[in-house]
Chains A and B, each alone.
Chain A
Amino acid sequence: MYKMRTMLFCPANKPKMYLNAPVFKPDCILFDLEDAVAMSEKDAGRDLLCKAVETLEFGDCMVFARVNGTGTPFFEDDVRAIVPSGIRYMRLAMCDCPDDVVVLDQLLSEVEKECGIEDGTVKIQCSIETAKGVLNARDTVKASDRVISLSFGAEDYTNSMGTVRTREGNELSYARTYLPVVAAEAGITAVDTVWSNYKDEEGFAEEVKWAKTLGFTGKSCIHPSQIKIAHQLLSPSEAEIEHAQRVVDAEREATAAGIGVFTVDNKMVDYPIINKAKRILIQAGRLEK
């Protein structure tokens, strides 16, 4: 499980955001080569992204590139250009079926070999954004060991469903309920779709709360102002962290003393509780994954 509470979208062909994105301290920065870059500018976006990654510091942020889908003429060029520049995380747009991931996985292995990088270094986030993608998601995310996360893309999904996005988001409920289950089964991180109207901070907060309830642990963000809100809502509370720390400490002591069963706050602690505590500490940045 990765700490990916926020993924800040930055158009790959706009110089300005490269410098500033890390200042807002998102967990992940997502440089977008897909929808945010015009067809005629894909080469320029790629060059800018590569130069930026070679030159700039991004602090603690995980740097993702959203690459164009496997069916596009840009897919291979994207991957071949950005891996040597240092990108280690990719969001694959339009992951409709396991084959899409397999194609990327094989290309990555090839490029990694060419660059002298260890096989499997580059990780994949599957972007699920069609009806087909949703239904195939369970197999798709298992198509490669590189897959660390899935993300949900509501714009294209509603398109594929013939529906439109609303503020309430009922049209997304099936996919939103299903995808976190897929992620949980595969042991990967589920990241929710973007909230486009960044001026509506209240609506954004409501949506993050709902996504959290359903099992998402991250949110794609299109504006820096969303990061603080998402972090607040998606981080465990002080009380949760404190309790989790005591559970983990107690487990360590119990293990050292050779005791099988132990209690915290007069409650018996078993494996689900220990695992939950560890997950909270990982989210809080207090425990290495």
Chain B
Amino acid sequence: MRIGEAGYEQSQDCKVTVKLKRRGKLKIVLNSKMEKMFGDQILQKAQEELDYLGVKYADVTIDDFSALDFVIQARIRTAVRRARGGEQDV
């Protein structure tokens, strides 16, 4: 399993952990104080980004500290690239 991490556990940032797998499902776990208010939106934006990056099988954990969507997407992008070993540019 290839693992990539990005982001920080800081206000308005988020920490994203991506575990790429060969098969199975795409599972996204969101931990956020904003979950009730923005959980659907965050998950949708995360899904869009993962689709764009062509990630089909992975465990993705987002530890969110009130980040805006663009931050979450950027951190996912970095984490995926790192999980892929950095070579495959997205």
Contacts and interface: CB of A to CB of B under 8 A. Distances in A.
Direct contact of A and B (CB under 8 A): yes
B75 to A, nearest CB: 7
Interface string A14-29: 1110110000000000
Contacts of B70: 18, 48, 51-52, 54-56
Given A44-B7, A51-B70, A16 B78 contact: no
Contacts of A19: 68
A47 B89 CA distance: 11
A16 B12 contact: yes
A43 interface: yes
A15 B63 CA distance: 15
Nearest to A50: B74
Main secondary structure of the interface of A (DSSP, over half): helix
Given A15-B67, A44-B7, A52 B74 contact: yes
B84 to A, nearest CB: 11
Interface string B36-78: 0000000000000000000000000000000111110111011
A54 B71 CA distance: 11
B71 A51 contact: yes
A47 B82 contact: no
B86 A15 contact: no
Contacts of A43: 78, 81-82, 86
B18 interface: no
A265 to B, nearest CB: 53
Contacts of B73: 51
B74 A44 contact: yes
Nearest to B7: A44
A194 B81 CA distance: 34
Interface of A: 14-16, 18-19, 43-44, 47-48, 50-52, 54-56, 77
14 contacts: A15-B13, A43-B78, A44-B7, A44-B74, A44-B75, A44-B78, A47-B74, A47-B81, A48-B70, A48-B75, A48-B78, A51-B70, A52-B74, A77-B89
